Amino acid sequence: MTTTRFAPSPTGRLHVGNIRTALHNWMLARKAGGEFILRIDDTDAARSKEEYVEAIRADLAWLGLTADREERQSKRLDKYETAFQALREAGRIYPAYETQQELELKRKVQLGRGLPPIYDRGALDMSNEERATKEAEGIAPHWRFKLDHEEEISWEDGIRGASKFDPRLLSDPVIRRADGSWLYMLPSTVDDIDMGVTQVLRGEDHVSNTAVQIQMFTAMDAVVPAFAHEALLVGREGKLSKRLGSLGCDSLRKRGIEPEAIIAVLARLGTSLPVEAISDRAKLLDTFALSTFGRAPAKFDDADLERINTALVHAMPYDAVKHRLPEGMDEAGWHAIQPNIDILDDAEEWWGLVTGPIEHVDFSDADRAYLGQAVNHLRWSKDPWVELTSALKETTGRKGKALFLPLRQALTGMDHGPDMGELLPLIGETKTRARLERAAAG
């Protein structure tokens, strides 16, 4: 069975970058009839906050990305300890004592010699006496995973194709800090093994992590999952990193962006498929395939998101939104104002044209006289707007803007807006006559 996972750290809110990762893993699982796991990577106790765990759950629920099960790394620490001890006994984990300053100095020396700035495995050359001296001085070690330099690392990436790394050009990764806390690499690998993850889809910034973790899977005699690395999101002017706060799930929701608009844009962003206003997830799933993903950076444009959002709002049926509309707005009211709104919250403002009060407009003497005639010609019928304008056109000779604009201004206080033929029956005869009389009187 296909099993995927989304593994956020609860150190902040979800943004378009990790929403896209969650969505694509959800789509991989759903299309294959498999399982989608939400794994909360909360081993960093100092930075992880429960409020963000709740926010992640709420955001995913709002987006409709329901997980089949949830796991918490903080409840699996014994699993990581067991794997750590087994790998240590097998000689694949070793202690290192260098400080950050010492490591930085080594990197500078290597760069100065034209060498790759990777860890030189100096800790492996230490004698037992030297290690004992460090311990006696109160210097606790951090722990590194020892890469097998004789084992070339290769895999068929679901997006990037054939991928290969020379382990001699990689640093042995630190997997555990001196205080005993865990870094990302080992717990993630242990979890993928225990949870039966079959496909790992993540950003291309994890490619070198994948190379290291493949050796971890092998060292633990586990099946290596299929890996795929998608291009990172960029904005029109470059990286999105500085803007991610404004592109967080909570910010998008406050702006009135619909979850289906976010899904429609991110589902195909970075693929060869067109980004369209599609609210049917079954259609998005039918066309979803890793083979459509490209290697070029995926360009995220806020204007595209707003465009897709507006198109989806314009297509929403009344039954889908009636519980979110202003009090008193029926299906006819929704149909009248729907083409004029960009976000659903705009319905409140446009509905105010019906319920009132409306803005007062200063008319010329000629227009006031014209509106006085409109009062006299007003006859309520199935289509009062057509009858009124037809009568005024015949008796006044006005046409086009001169015919319609003063009426719209008198009845709505605006120069533009919903179709008056639909709006007038909603306003009603009493309010329509009163507004015309007020405008005519000045």
What tens digit of pLDDT does each residue of 118-169 get? 999 999 999 999 999 999 999 999 999 999 999 999 999 999 999 999 999 9
Q: How confident is the model at residue 115 (pLDDT cuts 50, 70, 90)?
A: confident
CA distances from 55 to 47, 131, 248 (A): 15, 45, 11
In this prediction, residue 45 carries a pLDDT of 87
Tokens of residue 314, six digits:
């314009």
Where would I find the beta strands (DSSP E) of 188-231?
A: 199-203, 226-230
Neighbours of 167 (CB within 10 A): 19
**What residue has token string 């994890």?**
206
Percentage of the chain surpassing pLDDT 70? 98
User: Kind of pairing, strands 153-157 and 199-203?
Assistant: unpaired
Q: Tell me the average pLDDT across 411-415.
A: 96
- C-alpha–C-alpha distance, residues 70 and 57, integer Å: 10
Residue type, 69: R
Q: Is 44 helix (H, G, I), strand (E, B) or coil?
A: coil
Tokens of residue 79, six digits:
């699993």
| 417 pLDDT higher than 70 | yes
HSE of 131 in the Cβ direction (CA atoms, 13 Å)? 12
Percentage of the chain surpassing pLDDT 90? 92
Least confident of 106-115, 323-332, 384-393, 429-438: 106-115
Query: Among candidates 343, 331, 334, which has minimal Cα distance to 306?
Result: 343
Residue set of the binding site for ATP: 242
Length reported for the chain: 442
Helix axes 50-63, 259-268, angle to 10 degrees: 80
Query: Among candidates 373, 38, 23, which has minimal Cα distance to 230?
Result: 23
Q: What's the sign of the alpha-carbon dihedral 51, 247, 185, 290?
A: positive
In this prediction, residue 238 carries a pLDDT of 67
In this prediction, residue 235 carries a pLDDT of 83
In this prediction, residue 244 carries a pLDDT of 62
Query: Among candidates 265, 348, 345, which has minimal Cα distance to 309?
Result: 265
- C-alpha–C-alpha distance, residues 173 and 270, integer Å: 30
| 106 pLDDT higher than 70 | yes
Least confident of 11-15, 201-205, 237-241, 334-338: 237-241
Q: How confident is the model at residue 442 (pLDDT cuts 50, 70, 90)?
A: confident
Q: Which of residues 234 and 271 earns the better pLDDT score?
A: 271
Give 326-442's CATH code, choosing from 1.10.1840.10, 1.10.10.350, 3.30.420.590, 3.40.120.10.
Answer: 1.10.10.350
Q: What's the sign of the alpha-carbon dihedral 238, 169, 155, 85?
A: negative
Q: Tell me the average pLDDT across 369-374.
A: 97
| 101 pLDDT higher than 90 | yes
CA distances from 123 to 81, 83, 129, 130, 135 (A): 22, 21, 13, 10, 14
Give 3-78+185-233's CATH code, choosing from 3.40.190.80, 3.30.1330.60, 3.40.50.620, 3.20.20.70.
Answer: 3.40.50.620
Global pTM value = 0.91
Query: Among candidates 345, 158, 167, which has minimal Cα distance to 255?
Result: 345
Q: Using one digit for the tens of pLDDT, what is the confidence trace for 14-58?
A: 999 999 999 999 999 999 999 999 999 999 888 899 999 999 999
User: Kind of pairing, strands 35-40 and 3-6?
Assistant: parallel
In this prediction, residue 367 carries a pLDDT of 97
Q: Where are the domains of the chain?
A: 3-78+185-233, 89-176, 235-315, 326-442
Mean of per-residue pLDDT scores for the chain:
95
| 399 pLDDT higher than 80 | yes
In this prediction, residue 20 carries a pLDDT of 96
**What residue has token string 């000689």?**
91
**What residue has token string 């060292």?**
219
Domain 235-315, architecture per CATH: Orthogonal Bundle (1.10)
CATH fold of 89-176? Glutamyl-tRNA Synthetase; domain 3 (3.90.800)
Where would I find the beta strands (DSSP E) of 79-184?
A: 93-96, 142-145, 153-157, 161-165, 174-176
Residue set of the binding site: 242
| 239 pLDDT higher than 80 | no
| 247 pLDDT higher than 90 | no
Beta bridge partners of residue 227, listed in sequence order: 200
- C-alpha–C-alpha distance, residues 12 and 3, integer Å: 25
- C-alpha–C-alpha distance, residues 118 and 230, integer Å: 25
Provide the terminal-to-terminal Cα distance of the chain, rounded to the nearest Å: 74
**What residue has token string 């201004």?**
409
Query: Among candidates 8, 68, 64, which has minimal Cα distance to 35?
Result: 68
What single DSSP character describes residue 173? P
| 241 pLDDT higher than 80 | no
In this prediction, residue 114 carries a pLDDT of 87
H helix or E strand, kind and range, residue 4: strand 3-6
- C-alpha–C-alpha distance, residues 175 and 84, integer Å: 9
Question: Do the domains spanning 3-78+185-233 and 89-176 agree at the CATH topology level?
Answer: no
